[in-house]
């Protein structure tokens, strides 16, 4: 039961967030209304504001709250592209590591005991291409972020490798959203709303998919090599 406490606390925090209606305060309209206050806080606290923002981002990720896009754009608005990207990448990585550790502590042993031999085979397959799989999943978020945080823990991935691939894999997407956020002030001045559809434009999505394809090369190479060996 003790091992379950980290997951219980994270789940409880997420439930409380919605139960108290805190999600009502997270939207671009709230940013518009409070932007002078937010910018003043950044001006007064400098790098401490960046560190604090990264900590808040980490908490949101750890609680699996659906605010990553908003917070990533806000980071670009408050800190600019470079510092905004750094705050997002640092916070998201820390939060993801927290979920990974909680899942590994609470569920890994039970999962292994119940899953049986098929899990061992899955672990071996994942371990052979862990870096490629993680980079692809981070670059192209096919599955929810929380799923990609939990599954590697259950498959026995090493923490250091998990943290490194997470950090590297989320940089391109974080950079894109921070870039959108850097122009948020102009958008607000015009009375408009940020156009997040730009993220899916060929100019943005193409290079990210290209990076994912590069990450997949080792997987394809090993499969082709294995088939050739089987054919001889």
61's tokens: 């990720």
pLDDT, residue 138, reads 92
Residue among 72, 102, 85 nearest 8 (CA): 102
Specify the pTM: 0.85
d(CA 192, CA 179): 17
CA gyration radius, the chain: 20
Q: What is the residue-averaged pLDDT of the chain? A: 85
pLDDT, residue 123, reads 78
pLDDT, residue 56, reads 94
- Per residue in 168-221, pLDDT tens? 999 999 999 999 999 888 888 888 877 777 777 887 788 888 888 888 888 887
Region 104-114 average pLDDT: 70
pLDDT, residue 230, reads 60
Q: How many CB atoms lie within 10 A of CB 19?
A: 10
More confident residue, 23 or 131: 131
Share of the chain above pLDDT 70, in %: 88
60 and 23 Cβ atoms separated by less than 8 Å: no
Residue among 157, 203, 179, 170 nearest 95 (CA): 170
pLDDT, residue 197, reads 78
Region 82-92 average pLDDT: 97
H helix or E strand, kind and range, residue 215? helix 202-231
154 and 103 Cβ atoms separated by less than 8 Å: yes
pLDDT, residue 111, reads 66
Sequence ranges of the domains in the chain: 2-231
The answer on pLDDT for 227 being more than 90 is no
11's tokens: 């789940």
d(CA 132, CA 126): 9
């Amino acid at each position: 039961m003790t091992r379950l406490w980290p997951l219980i606390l994270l789940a409880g925090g997420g439930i409380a967030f919605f139960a108290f209606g805190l999600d009502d305060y997270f939207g671009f309209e709230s940013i518009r209304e409070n932007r002078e206050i937010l910018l003043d806080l950044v001006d007064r606290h400098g790098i401490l504001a960046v560190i604090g923002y990264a900590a808040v981002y980490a908490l949101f990720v750890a609680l699996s709250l659906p605010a990553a896009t908003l917070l990533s754009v806000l980071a670009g608005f408050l800190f600019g592209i470079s510092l905004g990207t750094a705050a997002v990448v640092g916070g998201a990585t820390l939060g993801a590591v927290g979920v990974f550790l909680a899942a590994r502590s609470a569920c890994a042993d039970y999962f292994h005991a119940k899953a049986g031999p098929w899990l061992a085979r899955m672990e071996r397959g994942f371990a052979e291409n862990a870096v490629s799989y993680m980079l692809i999943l981070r670059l192209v978020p096919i599955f929810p972020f929380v799923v990609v945080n939990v599954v590697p823990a259950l498959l026995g991935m090493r923490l250091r490798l998990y943290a490194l691939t997470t950090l590297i894999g989320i940089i391109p997407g974080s950079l894109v959203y921070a870039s959108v956020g850097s122009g948020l002030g102009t958008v607000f001045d015009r009375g408009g709303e940020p156009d997040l559809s730009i993220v899916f434009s060929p100019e943005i999505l193409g290079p990210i998919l290209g990076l994912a394809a590069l990450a997949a090369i080792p997987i394809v190479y090993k499969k082709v090599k294995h088939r050739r060996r089987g054919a001889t």
